[in-house]
Structure 1
């Protein structure tokens, strides 16, 4: 599975290790990902997503998964998260 956040789209970045002698070797900066279960209040169930710690703080700030996905751009979301967003929008529209 790719090392990419399903909500924000954060992925690995590249850079250099720089030694005391100023030798440079390539390295990767990996995002801080955790697999967490997030609850959708509109659908009444939980979803397991691979999410970065920064995205988790934003989800809490926006009032849960439903609030986060309502404001999230479709281009940043994974296909799984995009499907959850569509299901939430249908559930809210029908209620």
Structure 2
């Protein structure tokens, strides 16, 4: 399982662990990922995703999964969420026409 957020693309960072005597050793800073179920209002379905807590806060701030996906960049999304975004766009276009 990769340490990558499905919504924001946030992944592990590399840095140093610094001891009291200032000795630096490599370490990884892993994102705080959670397994959650997000519900799409437009599609009427739920999706199990692995997201960072920061992304979860952003989803709430933007008003739900649908609004978040429509505003998100394609390069950041996982293939699974990109597919959901395309379904949403199709449904919005069909409703507008």
| Secondary structure of 1:8 counterpart | coil
Shift of 1:5: 0.3
Runs of 4+ in 1 over 6 A off after TM superposition: none
TM-score scaled by length of structure 1 = 0.97
1:64 aligns with 2:64: yes
Shift of 1:94: 1.6
Aligned to 1:48: 48
C-alpha distance in 2, partners of 1:20/1:52? 31
| Secondary structure of 1:20 counterpart | coil
Aligned to 1:76: 76
| Secondary structure of 1:46 counterpart | strand
| Unaligned ranges ≥5, structure 2 | none
